[in-house]
């Protein structure tokens, strides 16, 4: 999809240098994917400690209880 955007050139250049991405399109796609990923992660954080999966993590990790 073609879209016309008015973006600060310095911001695009800095993002391209920071990510070693050499096209403006690719750097914008990467930025959007990162934004979506962060948004999904923050949505999942509301469930922290509220979901009981019934998994014995010591058994999964192969640990033996010392007590």
| pLDDT single digits (tens) 20-59 | 999 999 999 999 999 999 999 998 888 887 777 788 877 7
For the chain, what is the domain count?
A: 1
Q: Which domain holds residue 27?
A: 9-61
What pLDDT does 53 receive? 77
The answer to whether residue 1 is domain-embedded is: no
For the chain, the distance separating the N- and C-terminal CA atoms, rounded to the nearest angstrom, is: 61
Q: What CA–CA distance (Å, rounded) separates 19 from 41? A: 21
Contact 24, 32 (CB under 8 A): no
Lowest mean pLDDT among 7-11, 22-26, 39-43, 61-65: 61-65
The answer to whether residue 44 is domain-embedded is: yes
The answer to whether residue 29 is domain-embedded is: yes
What pLDDT does 66 receive? 66
The answer to whether residue 4 is domain-embedded is: no
Task: Check: pTM over 0.95? Answer yes or no.
Answer: no
The answer to whether residue 19 is domain-embedded is: yes
Contact 12, 24 (CB under 8 A): yes
Angle ∠(45,51,55) on CA atoms, nearest 5: 120
pLDDT higher than threshold 80 for residue 1: yes
């Amino acid at each position: 999809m073609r879209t016309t955007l008015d973006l600060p050139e310095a911001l695009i250049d800095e993002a391209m240098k920071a990510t070693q991405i050499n096209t403006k399109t690719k750097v914008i796609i990467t930025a959007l994917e990162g934004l979506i990923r962060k948004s999904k992660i923050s949505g999942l954080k509301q469930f922290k400690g509220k979901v009981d999966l019934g998994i014995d993590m010591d058994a999964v990790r192969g640990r033996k209880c010392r007590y």
